[in-house]
């Protein structure tokens, strides 16, 4: 497809999506799944994989089982060998593997960057949700900080996270142009967004300087006075839990205060560091691979235990906070890309639509 036609098609798809949903008059929040079904596929880039969620037509998934990912697939061979054979808890997502994409594309690209000691699927609760609201979301394994490197070999060569993220965008542009491919005509990469969790939030801050990035959304991340950071002069949304024990919430507040307007801040009561991820819900007792490793008696360094379990306690807000995360990230992105002429529910007033958990909202416009 000629490159000159893509921006026009993207604009038309945005207008169509906005009209089809009548979001300006009927949509009050984005807590529920959107008008599309979410498809998911896996691509290969160099020595690692990229998970891609994309909009599909609801009719395409009738009678199908949603896709589950398995934590064991993201572990090093050594760690797998230490775990009992029957330990392989799944996370059941809201996406369907390899289904046809919607013909209403192309859809704008959002890159997701996972955190330290984590993996590309770690926030499928959010990435599949974004696909249902009209985005293609791509998440690569940042092996240099990823879960496979825990008790496993580091990648060789090591890749810079900004350069690697740029490679993801190039890959998706290529897939959009690949004749007969699953994502042919489905991805617009002219204007992109990035979101990321924890260390991935740092990636989103750094990658936000790229000229084609229109907004960035760090989750459970912030800035430090010990490491002066220049934030991109672009819209941003900062979201974290008030009980985050890994990244002090004050660092998130400081980032919000330092960011260029328009910028937004969401602080969720009772949510810890891993709240904006699937990790705390994986396994019989939750807590993901670290909790599983502890249960079978594997020696885990204290700092990794903290990183891998913060926010997973029985009194922590986990799934009850997901509707808040989904809503604010989706609404901000749809506003940034022009899906919604006016932002939907970006205010404290939307609290009554989220009885499961409470939050504080602030903005600088």
**pTM greater than the 0.85 cutoff:** yes
Window from 208-217, 233-242, 252-261, 294-303 with minimum mean pLDDT: 294-303
pLDDT of 136 above 90: yes
Q: What DSSP letter does each residue of 74-119 carry, written as one string?
A: GS-HHHHHHS-TT---EEE-SEEETPPPPTT--EEEEEEE--TTB-
Structural domains in the chain (count) = 1
What average pLDDT does this structure show over 60-66?
98
Average pLDDT value for residue range 78-88:
74
pLDDT digits (tens, 9 = 90+) for 258-297: 999 999 999 999 999 999 999 999 876 666 777 777 777 7
% of the chain exceeding 70 in pLDDT: 91
Nearest to 212 by CA among 178, 259, 162: 162
Model confidence at 184: pLDDT above 80: yes
Tokens of 307: 């990183």
Structure tokens at 164: 């690697």
Mean pLDDT within 228-254: 96
Place of tokens 């839990």: 241
pLDDT attached to residue 284: 64
> How much is the pLDDT for 298?
76
pLDDT over 50 at 95, yes or no = yes
Tell me what pLDDT residue 286 has: 67
pLDDT at 353: 97
Model pLDDT, residue 18 = 42
Provide the pLDDT for residue 69.
Answer: 94
State residue 285's pLDDT score.
64
Structure tokens at 55: 């909009």
Q: What is the mean pLDDT of residues 41-51?
A: 97
> How would residue 8 be classed by pLDDT, with cut points 50, 70 and 90?
very low
Query: Is residue 19 predicted with pLDDT exceeding 50?
Result: no
- What backbone phi and psi angles, to 5 degrees, belong to 302? -60, -40
Q: What is the mean pLDDT of residues 171-180?
A: 98
Domain range spanning residue 215? 5-364
CATH classification at residue 256 = 3.40.50.1820
* Degrees to nearest 5, angle at CA 120 with 158 and 320: 140
Question: According to the model, what pLDDT value does residue 106 have?
Answer: 98
Whether the per-residue pLDDT at 327 is higher than 70: the answer is yes
Local confidence band at 151 (pLDDT 50, 70, 90 cut-offs): low
* Residues 212/169, Cβ–Cβ less than 8 Å: yes
Least confident of 134-148, 220-234, 283-297, 332-346: 283-297
Place of tokens 């396994």: 283
pLDDT of amino acid 346: 98
Lowest mean pLDDT among 35-44, 80-89, 103-112: 80-89
Above 60 in pLDDT, residue 1?
no
Asked whether residue 26 carries a pLDDT value surpassing 80, the answer given is no
Strands 213-219 and 187-197: parallel
- Mean pLDDT along residues 117-130: 96
């Amino acid at each position: 497809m000629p490159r000159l036609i893509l921006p026009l098609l993207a604009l038309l798809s945005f207008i169509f999506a906005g009209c089809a949903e009548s979001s300006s008059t009927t949509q009050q929040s984005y807590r529920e799944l959107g008008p599309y079904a979410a498809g998911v596929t896996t691509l290969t880039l160099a020595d690692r994989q990229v998970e891609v969620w994309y909009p599909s037509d609801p009719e395409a998934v009738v009678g199908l089982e949603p896709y589950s990912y398995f934590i064991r697939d993201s572990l090093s061979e050594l760690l797998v060998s230490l775990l009992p054979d029957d330990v392989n808890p799944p996370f059941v997502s809201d996406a369907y593997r390899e289904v046809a994409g919607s013909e209403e594309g192309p859809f704008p690209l959002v890159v997701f960057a996972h955190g330290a000691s984590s993996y590309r699927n770690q926030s499928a609760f959010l990435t599949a949700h974004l696909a249902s609201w009209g985005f293609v979301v791509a998440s690569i394994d940042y092996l240099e900080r990823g879960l496979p490197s825990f008790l496993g070999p580091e990648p060789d060569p090591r890749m810079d996270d900004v350069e690697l993220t740029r490679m993801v965008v190039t890959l998706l542009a290529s897939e959009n142009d690949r004749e007969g491919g699953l994502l042919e005509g489905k991805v617009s990469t002219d204007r992109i967004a990035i979101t990321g969790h924890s260390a991935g939030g740092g990636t989103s801050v750094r990658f936000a300087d790229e000229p084609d990035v229109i907004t960035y959304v760090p989750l459970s991340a912030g800035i430090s006075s010990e490491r002066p950071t220049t934030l991109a002069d672009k819209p941003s949304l900062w979201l974290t839990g008030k009980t985050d024990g890994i990244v002090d919430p004050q660092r998130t507040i400081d980032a919000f205060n330092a960011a260029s307007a328009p910028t937004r801040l969401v602080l969720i009561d009772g949510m810890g560091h891993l709240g904006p991820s699937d990790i705390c819900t994986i396994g019989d007792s939750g807590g993901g691979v670290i909790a599983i490793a502890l249960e079978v008696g594997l020696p885990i360094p204290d700092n990794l235990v903290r990183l891998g379990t913060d926010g997973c306690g029985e009194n922590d807000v986990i799934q009850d906070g997901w509707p808040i995360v989904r809503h604010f990230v989706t609404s901000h992105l749809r506003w940034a890309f022009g899906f919604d002429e006016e932002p939907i529910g970006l205010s404290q007033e939307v609290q009554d639509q989220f009885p499961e958990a409470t939050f504080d909202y602030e903005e600088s416009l």
